[in-house]
Amino acid sequence: MILFTQKGLRQDVQTRWNSTFLMLESSLYYKKVFKHLEISDGNFVHCPRHDEWSRIEKLCEFLRVFYEVTCAFSGSKYPTSNLYFPNVVRVRILLKEEMKKGDGFMKSMEARMYGKFEKYWAQYSTIMGIAAILDPQYKFYFSDWAFKRINGVDHMIEMSLLKDKLFCLFDEYSKNAKGSCLAAGIPYSSCAAANVEKVFNPLMQVCCFLNRVTNYLI
């Protein structure tokens, strides 16, 4: 059976983030072809050995996460601010777990990657963390899980700081909304901000806040 495909081989490009992953993925797709060429073509002398194919598979699975994250961040037809915190956490957890495995040929690379990550991404953007909380599929639950996974017993400190900043931002918005109502000659009692202040459930406050600031965040 002959299978026709338009999927081609990709080459690595130093200036493109995902080119290494795409090169390895396309090579794995044509793994059987390379093995056949090794047998049928005497000039083809660079076919990877069995242990090298195994390394390529491991490396490809490792880099797949970075490919998916960069694609998610590069989207232009959907909001991306709510994707920042979950994906940065995903990368950090991946790097730490892979370093613990101690896979010799990847360990030095992972250590360098983790060093770069800690240099540029160790401090999470607060406003992006808030954007994740405002996403109904994450809310506070994901942030709590993420900080617990990263910081262990000290995770409540980070969560408290994030909540404090969120509600400070909400209070500031509420004040501005009150001033806008009065400036427009609208009775404050009929404004959404006044109704929000009567809600005591913090999650309900976040939902009301989300309706008004989501467009700004994205």
Looking at the structure, tell me whether residues 134 and 154 fall in a common domain.
Answer: yes
The pLDDT value given to residue 157: 81
Domain co-membership, 213 together with 160: yes
**137 and 203, same domain (yes or no):** yes
For residue 60, the number of C-alpha atoms closer than 13 Å in the C-beta half-sphere is 14
pTM over 0.75: no
Same domain, 108 and 197: yes
pLDDT tens, position by position, 118-138: 888 877 788 888 888 888 888
- For residues 88 and 132, membership in a common domain is answered with yes
Q: What is the pLDDT of residue 109?
A: 86
Q: What is the pLDDT of residue 100?
A: 83
**What integer pLDDT is reported at residue 187 of this predicted model?**
54
* Total count of domains within the chain: 2
Are both 122 and 59 inside the same structural domain? Answer: no
Mean pLDDT of the chain: 78
The H or E element containing residue 82 is helix 81-101
CB 175 within 8 A of CB 194: no
- Residue 172: which domain range? 75-217
Domain boundary among 20, 41, 74: 74
Same domain, 88 and 124: yes
Tell me, what's the pLDDT at 28? 92
Q: Are residues 80 and 174 in the same domain?
A: yes
Is 136 within a domain?
A: yes
Instruction: Please state, in angstroms and as integers, the Cα–Cα distance from residue 32 to each residue in 2, 14, 37, 50, 161, following that order.
Output: 13, 27, 9, 12, 54
Domain for residue 120, yes or no?
Answer: yes
Mean pLDDT of 168-174: 79
Residue 194 binned pLDDT confidence (cut-offs 50, 70, 90): very low
Average pLDDT over residues 181-199: 49
What digits encode the pLDDT tens for the residues 74-109? 888 888 888 999 999 999 999 988 888 867 778 888
Position 3 in a domain: no
